Chain A
């Protein structure tokens, strides 16, 4: 199970990487593995304003459709349009090329509601 340092995680298996005032988000290795082959990602819209843990995107695999929640509050400033033609990037490289959206961070304090890598690792091992 790949859980990189420097990221924050949710119990719903999203990750977020904070870089200054922007936050890049996606789903974790645990999540992509559980879903299996990803066939479609319904991306959020640029300019969309989301609250922490609100529905951000929908992801479909061969087996099922699942919701992706915003790990932090903010405005969507960029989406990974590459996923429209190649949703399998989520399986191949979930922490880099398979990112879902970038958010302009509304409240940097919200990271206190998230898990650090050690806490997420312990959480996943307990599932």
Chain B
């Protein structure tokens, strides 16, 4: 059989040595040497939905920015409306190029009326930084603090019990809000966000404090480490997009099914391109697929309708919660596609599938 090859890693997080000592399987991701799995992707996925897991997410980027959103140009950069965000709330959105293509998806944190943190994907830090600097009003206080900021995600129905012990003030915060508080007695930011669809928190602390926090979290026997493999299954089970795979500069929020994170009542970079696309209509649609077997859709599989290629799979995996393959992709605008005979595959295999709705896994602890 053919064993997948791996290429050489680039950067290490403050936890890379710890992951290796725990026997994690490491692989390069977005230029970082990251843990893919510890006990196994399925076990880690199940543990996250039934108990609580922690994830090393130190590779992601953080920018700090000061200014009124209108005056400094931030409102014009992001698709979501920022002006009406309450302090200590988070909002998901995108930054676009003039053609309406997605440069990155991100989460905006409003720390105060004129005080912001922007969390971006690891692979796009440099590109995003240039884009912000080019479009913010000259002289705006903008800092890339990715290198000195560490991030651990704590996710799962039991995560509130764990937070209670390490950051008591964060216990009561609501979904998509955050608090600047102390974690293990030191200043930190804790938000009620995540990428798994479960109740969970993202903890931002100075990078040098990450090893101590990681160890402290894992001292509780209920908490287990989970890798990027489980993270990918968990986000796909919720139908969340992954930048660089499901969305990129060639996709717009309209065809990627992210229109609800775009505010057409304000002006932003890429808006006129999106408006003309709205008039002419998009040529493809985002679809979510479930296979009728244990076989999985895979990245770049074709989507066949009555045996004819009509689309492409952007992400796919096996769902241990549904016991079948799941995935998402783009399908041509075919009327009533759900009623048609759908399969996914390549020149070697065709796997029977159906078009369905996201999330694949329902009734999670997300908003408990």
Report how many A-B pairs have Cβ atoms within 8 Å: 69
Beyond A39-B294, A60-B295, whether A34 also contacts B41 by CB under 8 A is no
Asked whether any CB of chain B lies closer than 8 Å to the CB of A117, the reply is no
Asked whether any CB of chain B lies closer than 8 Å to the CB of A31, the reply is yes
Within 8 A of B (CB), among A1-51: 12-14, 27, 30-31, 34-37, 39-40, 42
Q: Which residues of A contact B (CB under 8 A)?
A: 12-14, 27, 30-31, 34-37, 39-40, 42, 58-69, 87, 91
20 contacts between A and B (CB under 8 A): A12-B1, A13-B1, A27-B1, A31-B1, A35-B3, A36-B41, A36-B229, A39-B294, A40-B293, A40-B294, A40-B295, A42-B295, A60-B294, A60-B318, A62-B229, A63-B229, A64-B298, A65-B295, A66-B1, A66-B4
Q: Which residues of B contact A (CB under 8 A)?
A: 1-4, 25, 36-37, 40-43, 229, 233, 293-296, 298, 317-318, 348-349
Q: Which 8 residue pairs are nearest across A and B when measured between Cβ atoms? A: A40-B294, A39-B318, A37-B42, A62-B41, A34-B3, A68-B1, A66-B1, A62-B318
Rounded to whole Å, the gap between the CB of B257 and the closest CB of chain A is 24
Chain B hits for A64, CB < 8 A: 4, 298
Rounded to whole Å, the gap between the CB of B11 and the closest CB of chain A is 22
Rounded to whole Å, the gap between the CB of B183 and the closest CB of chain A is 32
Rounded to whole Å, the gap between the CB of B300 and the closest CB of chain A is 12
CA distance A66 to B295 in the complex (A): 12
Beyond A36-B37, A40-B293, whether A66 also contacts B3 by CB under 8 A is yes
Contact of A37 among B2, B4, B41 (CB under 8 A): B41
Is the pair B294, A66 in contact by a Cβ cutoff of 8 Å?
Answer: no
Chain A hits for B293, CB < 8 A: 40
Is the pair A13, B3 in contact by a Cβ cutoff of 8 Å?
Answer: yes
CA distance A60 to B229 in the complex (A): 15
Beyond A27-B1, A34-B3, whether A65 also contacts B298 by CB under 8 A is yes
Contact of A39 among B1, B2, B43, B296 (CB under 8 A): B296
Is the pair A34, B4 in contact by a Cβ cutoff of 8 Å?
Answer: yes
Contact of B3 among A31, A60, A87 (CB under 8 A): A31
Can you name the residue of chain B whose Cβ is closest to the Cβ of A31? B1
CA distance A66 to B2 in the complex (A): 6
Rounded to whole Å, the gap between the CB of A99 and the closest CB of chain B is 14
CA distance A63 to B40 in the complex (A): 11
Chain A hits for B4, CB < 8 A: 34, 63-64, 66
Chain B hits for A59, CB < 8 A: 1
Can you name the residue of chain B whose Cβ is closest to the Cβ of A56? B1
Q: A14-B1, A39-B296, A65-B298 are in contact. List 11 more A-B contacts (CB 8 A).
A: A12-B2, A13-B1, A36-B36, A37-B42, A39-B42, A39-B318, A42-B295, A60-B294, A62-B296, A63-B229, A87-B294
Rounded to whole Å, the gap between the CB of B48 and the closest CB of chain A is 14
CA distance A58 to B345 in the complex (A): 13
Contact of B349 among A35, A39, A58, A62 (CB under 8 A): A58
Of A12, A14, A64, A65, most B-chain CB atoms within 10 Å: A65
CA distance A43 to B233 in the complex (A): 25
